[in-house]
Amino acid sequence: MDLVKRLEEYRDRERELMWEGTFAEYFEIACKKPAVARLSHERIYDMIMDGGVDTTRTGETRYRFFSDEIFGIEKPLQQIVDYFHSAAQRLEVRKRVLLLMGPVGGGKSTIVHLIKRGLEAYSRTPEGAIYAIKDCPMHEEPLHLIPYELRGEVEKDFGLYVEGDLCPHCRYMVDNNYRGRIEEVPLKRITFSEKYRVGVGTFTPSDPKSQDISELVGGIDLSTIGEVGVESDPRAYRFDGELNIANRGVMEFVEMLKTDEKFLYVLLTLSQEQNIKTGRFSMIYADEVVVSHTNEHEYQSFVGNKKSEALQDRIILAKVPYNLRVSDEVKIYEKLLKQSSLQNVHIAPYTLRIASIFAILTRLEPSKKAGMSLMKKLKLYDGEDMEDFKQKDVRELQEEAVREGMDGISPRYVINRLSNALIKNNVTYISPIDALRALRDGLDQHTSITREERERYLNFIHEARKEYDEIAKKEVQRAFVYSYEESARTMLNNYLDNVESYCNKTKLRDPITDEEMEPDEHLMRSIEEQIGVSENAKRSFREEILIRISSLARKGLTFDYTSHERLKEAIEKKLFADLRDVVKITTSTRTPDKEQLRKINEVVERLVAEQGYTYESANELLRYTGSLLNR
């Protein structure tokens, strides 16, 4: 990277964003590209949609604008996008405050952060270009300069919708500096920036006794009153409140329901009338999105307060629960860990998955369906089909659960505990067992859980441990089987010969004696039983295999034991069952002989090369699996 050259390129791009001109020049731009005069909700909606849209395997819409940072809460995001979509059509919903409600660490503030940062980036693109009256403290939409009497004709002839009126500062400037010649008023292109207080504002409540309303709506500039004479002169007022500077963009109202009532009254007028009442001036038009977030307890108190009914009626509520999919929870932890400097510590395969299983179990509600355990529910939500439940049952399970995802362990707790395990002295890797140990030990330090919850969470750690035990055995099984690939192929060919004979009702021929034989039912069942194929289901399973072979053959492809996922699992399990004693002896012997050592080394090399382990974590996995097999 040539830093000096890149800096020059950066300055060139910045200069391109510094367009200045007159209202007459801007009007020509707006006529050719009406999007520059969009209202705030429409701008945010277009920004989200410009990022692109995907459809998940469950048919849910996934917005790429959020997809790198937010995982597993597609429905709340869909509700938020629907709000912006309706508001973009200038429907009444745009005159509402968007309130995100959910548990701590669920992603509420991240959603707002993405919208704010997204707007900043979008305003720097040709698609998101935005212009304002030069030196206006509220970054006024230039079309507000057009007199009301002419706006109907402008919309009819040019398709430009104009809403709102000039702020006191710009009205004074037009009347006194330009004598009403609006075509000469200077404009400039602006880029949103929270740092420079342009189009992005944030209001954080503090002590109501010391916090002044001017933080929201601006205040009198005492230093200029002597010059201008009266407080009602716009030159004597600082339009620098968060609602002023967020005009045409977005204002984040942090923990809105914790703030003093006097601040909420300002939102009543802004949300319904799109006006701000400041000082000695009449109502000032403001076009901005107000987003806030709160927790469930604060929201229930707010709803129960009769004094707040007027504001309640002006709120659009979007519930943002915890993610309930294990695969998406893993992505959350991967994202958070990538942001750290702990790049030298190896995280063994399945460590984040097992931590995620524990976290999701704490968030799920028990189902009334017979035979539906929390672990089965977890796997269904993650896209796995169970023997007695399928993906079609998921919607019914979701409808049955009233508050699912609103309680439980937060991602912050899990990442805090993982971080605690990662920073210990001489730690070069952490395994799933290390993660579960860290999660368990941290429960005593968790300030907000009761004794009953702690006992329940300890049970979930036990459930996650049992899940890992099965995964560990499969990992070693897979590594051992790879060392016996020839055996796997031989077993597959024997099975397929017998299946073909069974389905076609023919006999097999003994390769040595040339005698005719019945299909070997014992061999076929010994493989099929490994994956729970019942006696009644064996024919359909075998016919399914033959159909798969025919389908691949038509495409010129060869069927092998990896071509059918369930058959692959059955072959591996059967082979591993046959090898169980070998594995048991090999992994648990304290002083292995030369042959056993060779097998161990082969398996370790396979785990390192193909399954993402280090030599240390692979050896720990073998020791752990050996202890499981010897129980």
Instruction: Please write the tens of the pLDDT for every residue from 418-445.
Output: 888 888 777 888 999 999 999 999 998 7
What would the mean pLDDT of 79-108 be, rounded to a whole number? 93
Pick from 3-17, 108-122, 468-482 the range whose average pLDDT is largest.
Answer: 108-122
Q: Is 508 in contact with 497 (CB distance < 8 Å)? A: yes
For residue 137, give the 3-state DSSP assignment: coil
Per-residue pLDDT, 478: 77
pLDDT (mean) for 5-24: 90
CA distance 98 to 101: 10
pLDDT the model gives residue 588: 61
Give whole-number Cα distances, 291 to 76, 87, 112, 226, 511, in Å.
Answer: 14, 13, 7, 38, 76
Can you point out the beta strands (E) in 345-459?
346-347, 429-430
Q: What local confidence, expressed as pLDDT, does residue 86 receive? A: 96
Calculate mean pLDDT across residues 402-412. Answer: 91
pLDDT for 319: 94
Read off the pLDDT of each residue in 253-257 and give the average, rounded to a whole number: 88
The percent of residues above 90 in pLDDT, for the chain, comes to: 51
Are 236 and 220 contacting, i.e. CB atoms less than 8 angstroms apart? yes
Helix (H) or strand (E) holding 293: strand 289-294
In the chain, % of residues over pLDDT 70 = 96
In this structure, what token pair is assigned to residue 609?
Answer: 């090369």
Between strands 315-319 and 289-294, the pairing is: unpaired
Report the range of poorest mean pLDDT among 88-92, 138-142, 624-628. Answer: 624-628
Q: How far apart are CA 209 and CA 218, in angstroms?
A: 18
Would you say 175 and 202 are in contact if contact means Cβ atoms under 8 Å apart? no
pLDDT tens column, 265-295 = 888 888 888 899 877 778 899 999 999 999 8
Mean pLDDT throughout 449-467? 93
Look up residue 52 and give its two tokens: 């692109």
* 242 to 16, 268, 314, 410, 411: CA distances (angstroms): 28, 16, 20, 31, 31
pLDDT digits (tens, 9 = 90+) for 477-535: 778 766 567 777 888 888 999 999 999 888 888 776 778 888 899 989 999 998 889 99
- Give the confidence band of 42 by pLDDT, cuts at 50, 70, 90: very high
Q: What is the pLDDT of residue 484?
A: 65
Q: Residue 245: what pLDDT?
A: 95
> What mean pLDDT, rounded, does the chain reach?
88
> pLDDT at residue 207 above 80?
no
- Between the alpha carbon of residue 363 and those of residues 106, 141, 490, 611, the distances in Å are 11, 46, 46, 30
Query: Is the confidence at residue 591, as pLDDT, over 70?
Result: no
Low-confidence winner among 114-118, 445-449, 621-625 (lowest mean pLDDT): 445-449
411-422 vs 432-442: helix axis angle to the nearest 10? 120
**310 vs 582, which has greater pLDDT?**
310
Q: Which residues, other chains included, contact 547 with Cβ-Cβ below 8 Å and sequence gap of 6+?
A: none
Q: Mean of the pLDDT values across residues 150-165?
A: 93
The 3-state secondary structure of 483-546 reads: CCHHHHHHHHHHHHHHHHHHHHCCCEECCCCCCEECCCHHHHHHHHHHHCCCCCCHHHHHHHHH
Centre a 10 Å sphere on the Cβ of residue 211 and count the other Cβ atoms it contains.
Answer: 17
Q: Give the pair of three-digit tokens for residue 462.
A: 């036990």
Give the pairing of strands 508-509 and 516-517: antiparallel
Q: List pLDDT tens digits, range 174-187.
A: 999 998 899 999 99
Answer for the pair 429, 348: CB distance below 8 angstroms, yes or no. yes
Which of 248-252, 260-264, 334-338, 546-550 shows the lowest per-residue confidence on average (mean pLDDT)? 260-264
At residue 555 the predicted structure's pLDDT band, cuts being 50, 70 and 90, is confident
In angstroms, rounded to a whole number, what is the distance separating the alpha carbons of residues 144 and 612? Answer: 61
Using the predicted structure, report yes or no on whether residue 1 has a pLDDT greater than 80: no
Residue 409: pLDDT over 90? yes
b vs e for 515-552, b when ≥16 Cβ sit within 10 Å of the residue's Cβ?
eeeebbeebbebbbebbebeeeebeebbeebbeebeee
Average pLDDT over residues 604-621: 91
Question: How much is the pLDDT for 237?
Answer: 87
Task: Give the span between the Cα atoms of 517 and 12, in whole angstroms.
Answer: 83
pLDDT of residue 631: 67
**Domains of the chain, start order:** 17-319 (3.40.50.300), 326-469 (no CATH), 484-588 (no CATH)
Q: Is 70 exceeded by the pLDDT of residue 342? A: no
* pLDDT at 583 exceeding the cut of 70: no
pLDDT at 581 over 80: no
Confidence of residue 461 (pLDDT cuts 50, 70, 90): very high
Query: 464 falls in which pLDDT band (50, 70, 90)?
Result: very high
Q: Where are the beta strands (DSSP E) in 153-211?
A: 186-190, 200-203
Q: And the tokens for 191?
A: 């880029």
* pLDDT value at 387 more than 90: no
Residues 6+ apart with CB under 8 A from 448: none
Q: Is the pLDDT of residue 48 over 90?
A: yes
Spatial separation of the C-alpha atoms in residues 237 and 214, rounded to whole Å: 11
